[in-house]
Structure 1
C-alpha cells in the first residue's frame, strides 16, 4: 500500500515539473539559423532594389565592337592550287592579325562548240553532213541521241580563236553554223586576311609579283 502511494506521488511530481519547464519559462525557445555574429543569408530576390541602380553593360560586347573597328579584312585570290594557298599563308604568317582559307565553286569556260543547229529528223541531219563533205568540210559528227539529237557537230575547241576560225570556214561555205560556250564548275581557293587599320599593309611585299587580286570583305 505504501509503495503504491509513493509511486503515485512521484508520478504527479514529474508531471508538475514537466509542466513548469514547458509553460512556466519567461521566454520562448527560438532556434537561430546562424551562429551569433554571422550575417544571415538572403536570396537575391529578397534584397531590396535601390532606385537609380543600372546594371553594368556587357564588357565583352564592347570589346567585340572595338575589335571589328580596329581591323579591316580583305580576300586574296583566287589561287590556282591548294599548294599555292598554303605557300601564301606561310609567307604572310606573322604579318597579319589572323587568316582563314576557304574554297568555293565557280563556273568558267571549258570549251567552245561549233555546230549546225538540230533539224527535224536524222535523215535531214545526214543530208547536211553530205553537203558539208561536198564542200570539202570534214571532221564533223551527226549527234544521234540526247538533247542535241540531229545536230551536226563541227568541233569542240579549247581556244576560242580556233573555234571562231572554224565557224568562219563553215559559214563562208553557206551553212548556218553557230558557236556556243561550254562551261564547267571548278574550285577556287581564297585567303581571307584581317589586318590592323592603324598601319598600311600591302600583301605584295610578302608574295611578290603575281596575278592575284584582292577585295574588301566583312571582318571575321
Structure 2
C-alpha cells in the first residue's frame, strides 16, 4: 500500500512536469496577458464629457449651404489675369465662364446743396455753414452744377444719411445722390451653393494681385 501511494505521487509529479512543457491550448480557457498602456474603456462606459479641440488647430470658417447662387468676378483688364484667376477658382472646384462686358457699379453717395443763383449767394451759404461748425465743403466752379456746394462724398450709405440729416437740420435743402462708374473688362461667371462662395483670403489675394476687381452676386437666369 505504501508503494502504491508513492507510485501515484510520482506519476502525478511526472504528468505535472510534462504539462508545464506543453504550449497552452487555444480556446475559451486560454489565458490573455494583460495589455500595456491605458485601460480600454467601452464607449457606453465613458462619462458624458464634451470633446476638446486641439489648442493649435485652426477653426475652419463657417460655410452655409443655402442653394446655388450665381456670381461674377472682375473686371480683369487682361486675358492673362482672367486665365490665372480662372485656374485659382478651378482649383477650388468651381467651373467658370468667361465673358467680356460692362458693369455699372455703385461707388458711393454725394451730398451737396443744389446750384445757387450766383457765386456770391453760394459764399453766403458757406459762411453760414462754417459758423455752424461745418468745415468740409467746396463751391462747384464749373459744369452743370456750377455754384452748387459740395458737402462730401461717402462710400457708406449710413454715413451719407447722417450727414444729409445734419445739413437738413440747419434749414437747408441738401441732395443725396448716388454715384456710379462703368467697369469694362473680362468677367468670370460661376455658381456655388456656399455662402460665401469663396474664402475671404482668396478674394483678398485676387484683389491685391488684380487691383480693381470685385465679386458680385448676379441673377442666375
Larger Rg: 1
TM-score, with normalisation over the residues of structure 2? 0.49
